Amino acid sequence: MFVKKFGKFFPSASPVETTPASGMIEIHSQPVPILYRRHHRARNYLLRLRSNKTVVVTLPRRGSMDFARKFVASRAGWLEKQWGILEARSLPPPVLRPGMEVLFRGRPVALEARREEDLVSIRLDGEWVRAAGAGENLRPAVEKHLRLLARKELAARAEELAREQAAPMRRVVVRNQKTRWGSCSRKGTISLNWRLIQAPDFVRDYIILHELTHLRHLNHSPRFWAGVEKVCPDYRAAEAWLKKNSCQVGF
């Protein structure tokens, strides 16, 4: 959720404050941590409720804390609605065992495992992966395999789409991003979240094309979204999938 820097809801912002702030906010009578942070590329005030039940407010570089607090207060109803959605979601279990399912290329896939002395072989969508020292929890071995797979496949797909779009991408990296699916630097580097390996192809491609479009429009202006729609006409379906399934991505 966002509001223009000098929106009609509040008076003009006061001078810039340089000290980051944190505190608590009450949602449905429950105290929830709230974190205020600045981003030099942000043009709007952004409000998010993370899956770990923390509220994050992003301020423009020259925004004010007073304006940000009023913005949050004006969005109390939206936060309560998002809290309800979050509470209704079923979070994936912290421990993965044989027979449990993980999301892989947009489909739930049941895990199989067989032990041979100190090695465990894990079957993921028809492929057997050998993991030394794996215990009862298969999560570390499965995550390691998916991250290696993501580095190879996501980078190759980004390079392919960049060639097709004649996008000025200088390099692509695959990272363990906690709050973003992707990002784009002013120097032409595209960063992708390894967890995209769990999403369907059309969602993966949307995120890559989204970031490639940022190479020409380093903002979220109408021109940027027109560019996204031109190269990815079904981007709204991809965003809907992410909104519905993001809690299951990353197991």
Q: Report the amino acid identity of residue 109.
A: V
Q: What's residue 6's pLDDT?
A: 34
Cβ proximity of 224 and 217 under 8 Å: yes
Strands of 55-59's sheet in order across: 2-4, 44-49, 55-59, 30-38, 21-27
- Measured from the Cβ of residue 70, the count of other Cβ atoms closer than 10 Å reads 17
Where do you find CATH 3.30.2010.10 in the chain?
A: 150-245
Identify the helix (H) or strand (E) that includes residue 86.
Answer: helix 76-88
pLDDT by 10s per residue, the chain, length 251: 544 433 333 333 333 444 457 888 888 777 889 999 988 888 889 999 887 788 999 999 888 899 999 999 999 999 988 888 777 665 666 788 888 888 899 999 888 888 777 677 888 877 888 876 666 788 888 888 899 999 999 999 999 999 999 999 999 999 998 778 999 998 999 999 999 999 999 999 999 999 999 999 988 899 999 999 999 999 999 999 988 887 777 65
Q: Nearest 5°: phi and psi at 246? A: -60, -25
Q: How far apart are CA 149 and CA 48, in angstroms?
A: 30
CATH of 150-245, one of 3.30.2010.10, 3.30.110.60, 3.40.50.880, 3.90.930.60: 3.30.2010.10
In angstroms, rounded to a whole number, what is the distance separating the alpha carbons of residues 200 and 103?
Answer: 10
Q: Helix, strand, or coil here: 172?
A: strand
Q: Around Cβ 57, how many Cβ atoms within 10 Å?
A: 24
What pLDDT sits at residue 130?
A: 80
Q: Which residues contact 67 (CB under 8 A, 6 or more apart)?
A: 10, 13, 14, 45
Where are the strands (E) in the chain, listed by range? 2-4, 21-27, 30-38, 44-49, 55-59, 101-104, 107-110, 112-116, 119-124, 127-132, 171-175, 182-184, 189-193
pLDDT the model gives residue 157: 97
- Residue 120 has a pLDDT of 79
